[in-house]
Homo-oligomer: A and B are copies of this chain.
Amino acid sequence: MKIVTLGEIMLRLSTPSQERFVQAQQFDINYGGGEANVAVSLANFGDESYFVSKVPSSEIGQCAIDELRKYGVDTRFVVRGGERLGIYFLETGASMRASKVIYDRAHSSISEAEVSDFDFDSIFKDVSWFHFTGITPALGKKAQDLVLASLKAAKAHHVTVSCDLNFRAKLWTSEEARLYMNSYMPYVDYVIGNEEDADKCLGFKPEGSDVEKGKLSIEGYKRMFEAMIEKYHFKGAACSLRESFSATHNGWSGLLYKDGEFFQSKHYDIDPIIDRVGGGDAFASGLIYGLLHLSNGQEAIDFAVASSALKHTIPGDFSHFSAQEVSALMNGDASGRVKR
């Protein structure tokens, strides 16, 4: 299956060994971003995945492309040019100390890319699926136009479209988010978003739940999905459910509403978490894979959650698991026994 994602890829600089920023003498280098992460994960599952973006023509831009190529993502549609590659600094938390993200992503090449930089007819030729996230329009006016243009082109090529709402409070306000995300929803077939995303981006809230207080009403989520689908005519809506016990211990599961049916996944207790960045993207990629390749909604949401749970156990933004490995976990073996 040919799948396209479009968005920003950043240089991620993280401190090793649980150090705080002031303690670090080296940064571990990774590259990542919501849509790039989805592309890598899908390539690891065996799909033919394409990542579309713009990176500077420097060696730093090339490094980002090389990392994608390494994992089998097709980068032929990545444009070169612009000012810089966005950077984010990451301090990985532990126990009750949360991870800390510092963005240095303003003025990035993708945030200032023109629609005319991309040949969407070539990009969407023979494509089955297009995935984007709410992070890209949060980058600014040009990125907002770019997303709209890509959605129109995708629809013109009859491509299925998924959107991970992914609200980012450090990038834009809820008012801005609602304005733009609402305008994109008519083009979207499958929407992904947790409670906060649904509220901040689209104005929907699950009744009876309160993330901060750890309360969760599955029924409330079901009704929220139904309302969203009624308004936007989505084919489906999904979310992951994270219980944050600490920075290194989370509960993890997911919900999917599709074709009038509601599915709740298995539940995982992830302890310890090695790196939770990219966990949501591993969920999205698992869901796309599940919807494309598996036989029903239950399998799709179970695959998505297993994919995401595994991502939490390795460092970096990218998820490096084969479809077989995800299936093995989804089908039951979470005991961590060595095979030899």
Binding site for B on A (CB under 8 A): 13, 16-29, 58-60, 62-63, 66-67, 69-72, 83-85, 87, 89, 91, 93-104, 106-107, 168-170, 244-249, 268, 270-274, 276-277, 309-310, 312-316, 320, 329, 333-340
- Chain B neighbourhood of A244, CB < 8 A: 335-337
A93 touches B246 (CB 8 A): no
- Chain B neighbourhood of A339, CB < 8 A: 98, 100-101, 169-170
A59 touches B106 (CB 8 A): no
- Chain B neighbourhood of A168, CB < 8 A: 340
Sample (14) of A-B pairs whose CB atoms are under 8 Å apart: A16-B26, A21-B62, A22-B320, A23-B320, A60-B102, A69-B71, A95-B336, A96-B335, A96-B336, A98-B337, A101-B339, A107-B107, A169-B339, A244-B337
- Chain B neighbourhood of A27, CB < 8 A: 13, 26-27, 29
- Give how many copies assemble into the complex: 6
A96 touches B329 (CB 8 A): yes
- Chain B neighbourhood of A170, CB < 8 A: 339-340
Partner of A313, one of B18, B249, B314: B18
A65 to chain B, nearest CB (A): 9
B335 touches A104 (CB 8 A): no
- Chain B neighbourhood of A26, CB < 8 A: 16, 26-29
B60 touches A314 (CB 8 A): no
A63 touches B21 (CB 8 A): yes
A25 to chain B, nearest CB (A): 5
How many Å lie between the Cα of A112 and that of B17 in the bound state?
35
Known pairs A26-B29, A27-B27, A72-B69; A93 contacts B313 (CB<8 A): yes
